[in-house]
Amino acid sequence: MHSEIEKVLISEEEIQEKCKEMGAHLTEEYKDRFPLAVGVLKGATPFMADLLKRVEIHLEMDFMDVSSYHGGTRSSGEVKIVKDLDTKVEGRDILIIEDIIDSGLTLSYLVDLFKYRQANSIKVVTLLDKPAGRTAYIKADTIGFEIPDEFVVGYGLDYQEKYRNLPYIGILKPEVYGG
Ligand code: 5GP
Ligand code: MG
Ligand code: MG
């Protein structure tokens, strides 16, 4: 599997260090509150697990699955709910946890949805930000790493459902897309 990676963009150590930093920041930001952390399936799960271990307050976790990608490397521009939350959003402090913001369509859809459901507050934390891909106006409140406009895999991010279990973020060799 590692032989299919052209280059490691962000190492396991860098990711873990960043989770510690961001976790401390969130601990401060949400002290005396009980936020609902919403992980966006499936990509955000490794990040969500590592990040929230570093947040030293009580919180609740839930998951949503929305899709706009359909297996390719570019967004189709259409967002739909594949799995909704089990938790009521009204009056809650929502912390959306994402793997990456590219076009921003997924997040702007979620932010609008949680506003409509009358969240008390909505914050977005993303591991990666790809500002070059943006078509919808959306900004994360906390960003781990800004990356160039390249398709990345690993640490939750897939290509055709593979590579999510890599402990780092990398770029695939071009020949992998050929087959
Ligand atoms: P957006 O709606 O912001 O365009 O994209 C959101 C979703 O697209 C991400 O949560 C992720 O699943 C997928 N995505 C965007 N850029 C990349 C990338 O570089 N690599 C992978 N594997 N997925 C991406
Ligand atoms: Mg995602
Ligand atoms: Mg994907």
Nearest ligand 1 atom to alpha carbon 106? 2
What confidence score (pLDDT) does residue 33 get? 98
pLDDT tens-digit profile of 133-179? 898 888 899 999 999 999 999 999 999 999 999 999 999 999 998 76
Residue by residue, DSSP assigns 29-98 as HTTT---EEEEEETTTHHHHHHHHTT--S--EEEEEEEES-TTSSS--S--EEEE--SS--TT-EEEEEE
Q: Has residue 72 been placed in a domain? A: yes
Our mutation pick for probing the ligand 1 site, out of 4, 10, 80, 99, counting the most ligand atoms within 8 A of Cβ, is 99
Residue by residue, DSSP assigns 75-93 as --S--EEEE--SS--TT-E
Q: Has residue 100 been placed in a domain? A: yes
What confidence score (pLDDT) does residue 179 get? 60
Q: Has residue 158 been placed in a domain? A: no
Instruction: Domain count for the chain, please give it.
Output: 1
What confidence score (pLDDT) does residue 2 get? 86
- Give me the chain's average pLDDT, please: 93
Q: Has residue 5 been placed in a domain? A: no
Residue whose CA is at the smallest distance from ligand 1 atom 19: 151
* Gap between the Cα atoms of 63 and 52, Å rounded: 14
Q: Has residue 81 been placed in a domain? A: yes
Q: Say which residue the tokens 């909505």 belong to.
A: 122
Average pLDDT over residues 4-13: 98
pLDDT tens-digit profile of 53-72? 999 999 999 999 998 755 55
**H/E segment holding residue 112:** helix 105-116
CATH number, position 143: 3.40.50.2020
Residue 14, phi then psi, degrees to nearest 5: -65, -40
Q: How many angstroms does the Cα of residue 134 sit away from the middle of ligand 2?
A: 14
Q: Has residue 174 been placed in a domain? A: no
Range(s) of the domain holding residue 33: 13-150
What confidence score (pLDDT) does residue 76 get? 57
Q: Has residue 52 been placed in a domain? A: yes
Q: Which residues are registered as beta bridge partners of 73?
A: none
What confidence score (pLDDT) does residue 156 get? 98
Nearest ligand 1 atom to alpha carbon 138? 3
Q: Has residue 175 been placed in a domain? A: no
- The percentage of the chain sitting over the pLDDT mark of 70, rounded to a whole number, equals 94
Q: How far apart are the first and last CA of the chain?
A: 15
Nearest ligand 1 atom to alpha carbon 133? 4
Q: How many angstroms does the Cα of residue 160 sit away from the middle of ligand 3?
A: 7
pLDDT tens-digit profile of 20-39? 999 999 999 999 999 999 99
Q: In this predicted model, which residue has the larger pLDDT, 110 or 136?
A: 110
* Contact assessment for residue 140 and residue 125, using Cβ atoms and an 8 Å cutoff: yes
Q: Reply yes or no on whether 93 is catalytic.
A: no
Q: Which of 32, 65, 86, 102 is catalytic?
A: 102
